[in-house]
Amino acid sequence: MSELLYPLKWLSKASAGDRVAHELRMRIISGHIESGTILSENKLASDFSVSRSPVRDALKVLASEQLIRLERMGAVVVGLSERDIQEIYDVRLLIETFVFERLVKIERSELVRELSKILEMMKVAIKYKDADEFSFQDVLFHETIIRSIDHGYVSMIWQNLKQNLKPVMESFILLSMRVRFEEDIEDFERILANHALYIEAIETGDRERMVASLHQNFDDVQEVEDLWKTQQMMSKGVDSHD
């Protein structure tokens, strides 16, 4: 099998089934495995040098994420559509908007410190052109905000989302960031400024500024959507990592 697309350093504690799922997810979302492709358990077991049991576990995970469809003939790749991408960001916007509203009612100084540290790590990742590390810190930044309100049901929803939505979102962000590091590295100054605005909005507790910073972040995502809108561009981002 060709070089893995999913970062090896993120797999240190992963089971064999998880490792297969992570890699297949990346290949499906990037377009390296096209929609309509039939995945064979035996072929995958051979490709990944594992038994069929981890492959079955991986396919069940990908089916729960709706990236594949399990049928008698095997697993049929469904893939990730532009609508799926939009809906992922809709869910993130919905959750983070609610969280921002709750943040104004709690002590935020510790959160500001944590987010500031993460922002510094994002700057280091850009300095060394490490798209994988930047992606990790970017996801951590937003997850730290969500966890900060200590809301039982929001935490439960987020935990449920982590099982099905977060792995897809992480893979999508990772692939798109690899493209952007290759195609438009200068744009990361704007991205850093957006995250700094997040922190400023949280620190001041200004609802209007919070909402503005939140929507500016998601609006910017939509503005650069052409960087990952096609599978060809996504594949280019993956190839540049090999």
HSE of 23 in the Cβ direction (CA atoms, 13 Å)? 19
Show the tokens assigned to 168.
Answer: 């897809």
Question: How would CATH label the architecture of 82-235?
Answer: Up-down Bundle (1.20)
Residue 98: CA count within 13 A, CB half-sphere: 15
56 near 140, Cβ under 8 Å?
Answer: no
Topology, domain 8-77: Arc Repressor Mutant, subunit A (1.10.10)
Sign of CA dihedral 81, 162, 102, 174: negative
Q: Is 69 helix (H, G, I), strand (E, B) or coil?
A: strand
Per residue of the chain (242 residues), give pLDDT as tens. 567 899 988 888 889 999 999 999 999 999 999 999 999 999 999 999 999 999 999 999 999 999 999 998 789 999 888 788 878 778 888 888 888 888 888 999 999 999 999 999 999 999 999 999 999 999 899 999 998 998 888 888 877 776 667 788 889 889 989 999 998 899 899 899 989 988 999 999 887 887 777 777 776 554 434 433 433 444 444 454 54
Q: In the numeric block, which tokens belong to residue 79?
A: 């893939």
Q: Rounded CA gap, 190 and 228, in Å?
A: 18
**What is residue 18's three-state secondary structure?**
helix
**Global confidence as pTM:** 0.83
Strand ranges, E, within the chain: 38-39, 68-71, 74-77
Does residue 158 contact residue 149 with C-beta atoms inside 8 Å?
no
**Helix H segments across 31-81?**
41-48, 52-64
Which among 96, 88, 44 is positioned nearest to 66, based on CA atoms?
Answer: 88
Q: Which two tokens stand for residue 26?
A: 């990346």
Amino acid residing at 92 = R
- pLDDT for 220: 57
Domains of the chain, by residue range, sit at 8-77, 82-235
Angle made by CA atoms 114, 169, 102, in degrees to the nearest 5: 45
CA distances 208 to 50, 82, 100, 141, 204, Å, are 53, 30, 10, 20, 10
User: What pLDDT does 230 receive?
Assistant: 35
